[in-house]
Structure 1
């Protein structure tokens, strides 16, 4: 049975991915701050740890879960959203949160892929269409997602560190139809948003 990992497997999009691939017969490992009981195995991370500590913990935890086998794919869908420009009172705090949620999780996923992804496997990171251009109303978010785009390009190169013939892609959604997004944008047109289940498929 092929095994894959969903980084952010307890979030709205992550849960859809776990469900979708379990129904397709995959063994699924969730990596997140909390457990996803539908997953076959869970690795619980702590965002208060340093990037190095997080990476080493996730890698070691997967060593035990995989028991010598390798992952067919890693889907990194951890992330979040925060607005604000450089003049905002909470600007630096929200920017740091965006880096922790999107950049750090993507770097750990890349490190895990370098060690646990099988040859010809797939690593998917989550960028954002908005970060292709300037994001003055959400600078921390834009900076973090642009970094994910850059990381994807780096990993796609021959000396990026991924296993032989492995592929790396970044999905760049606009707005995902999650409970949190609906809560923070109650007057938006939800019909224009993409459902997590559609992204999983």
Structure 2
């Protein structure tokens, strides 16, 4: 006899406002939900904590080890909604620190979510990353944010190609926030 496995998803950024809403949606619909964030989400079935001060490779290693040690197997979806926003143009004294923060919040999380997808997504599963419509054009008042989100769009395009490493039948999407609704790339 085989055990029926509960459907499950991973929400990277599960403690933020959007991540929490996604987490609650899946919980309400009978899913096991794993949250990945810098703080625990007590409403998730499992919280994997991220050290925001760790390097990109250290974050990946820690998260993947956390998923493995908690015996997180194949999941139906990986939703990366981690991120943030900061402005600033090239004359801003904090341009580099703002760009660094945006890169860490959007690009680190999106690439690590992609690695999680390669390892944990079921065939036909979905990987969703968060882009920004503004990143399709120049972003002079928020250069770091625009650079980071443009990188997420490029990552999504690469993952959509044959031989990207995603599981067979996997589906990747990049949702771009606008004033209303979402666009798909």
Scaled to the shorter chain, the TM-score interval is: over 0.9
Gaps of 5+ in 1: 176-192
The two structures have a TM-score, normalised by structure 1, of 0.85
Instruction: Give the number of the structure whose residues are more often helix, by fraction.
Output: 1
What is the Cα deviation at residue 63 of structure 1?
1.2
Q: Which residue pairs with 1:186 in the alignment?
A: none
Structure (1 or 2) with the greater strand fraction: 2
Which residue is 1:64 aligned to? Answer: 69
Tell me if 1:95 matches 2:99. yes
Specify which of 11, 15, 21 is matched with residue 16 of structure 1: 21
**SS across alignment from 1:163:** coil
Q: How does 1:107-126 map to 2 (within 5 A)?
A: 107-126=111-130
Question: Residue 65 of structure 1: CA displacement?
Answer: 2.6
SS at match of 2:153: helix
**Alignment RMSD (CA, Å):** 1.5
Count of residues in Structure 1 that have an aligned counterpart in Structure 2:
178
Output aligned runs, 1:137-176, within 5 Å: 137-175=141-179
5+ unaligned residues in a row in structure 2: which ranges? 1-5
TM (normalized to structure 2)? 0.93
Displacement of 1:53? 0.8
Deviations 1:165-190 (A, max 9, x none): 10000000125xxxxxxxxxxxxxxx
Give the superposition deviation at 1:159.
Answer: 1.2
Q: Distance in 2 between matches of 1:157 and 1:66?
A: 30
1:181 matched residue in structure 2: none
